[in-house]
Copies of this chain bind each other. A is one copy, B any other.
Amino acid sequence: MTQKTDRDTVIERALDLIRLRGYHKTTMNDVAAACGLLKGSLYHYFPGKEALAVAVMERVCETFVKHIVDIAQDEAVPVEARLEAIMDETRKYFLSREGGCIMGNVALEAIDAVPEFRPIVRKYFKDWIAALARLYESRFPAKIALRQAERIVAMIQGTIMMMRVYQDSSMFEMAISDILRDFRAAPVITTEVAFAAA
């Protein structure tokens, strides 16, 4: 039969469903139906549900986090503007989609049940944090900068949780504002900040 879809489409559809319903409540049938397929057909693209979910999470790393990393590394732009751009992307990313952060959701729902999920979730957070730490190194020593980045990611995840609980996105806007305000209030380190990355 002629190709009805492709691996990328399956990933995209599964991403939306898992974000909204969670890993356990998203069935292979749901995903297949969203792709216009029957569930058996999914096994041509992925060996099983876990592998599909891993591919979905890798996709999130390759898109959202990759985008943020790219912005953070763009040295043609002033550091503060880069942070603003990142926060802008972050806001757009999480406010334009229902279901919050799929990686955060999977982290709390299935990271212990499915060991294969842990490394990909870790990579997601590590890369995100590293990208932010880069920018904070213009204001703080490396160690402090890393800690600040961790705090910011934790705050964003915690705020997304509150946003879902109260179905109110204003908390997210406020959190973004706070982060930018605090950054601007930090003294600039004038010497070679050295993005001598790993």
Contacts and interface: CB of A to CB of B under 8 A. Distances in A.
Interface stretch (A75-83, A85-93, A130-138, A162-170): A162-170
Interface in A118-147: 118, 121-122, 125, 147
Interface stretch (A49-57, A60-68, A104-112, A188-196): A104-112
A165 B21 contact: no
Given A22-B108, A104-B108, A157-B157, 17 more contacts: A22-B24, A25-B110, A100-B108, A108-B161, A111-B164, A111-B165, A150-B162, A151-B175, A151-B178, A153-B158, A153-B162, A154-B155, A154-B161, A155-B158, A157-B158, A157-B161, A158-B158
Interface of A: 20-22, 24-25, 99-100, 104-105, 107-113, 118, 121-122, 125, 147, 150-151, 153-159, 161-162, 164-166, 171, 174-175, 178
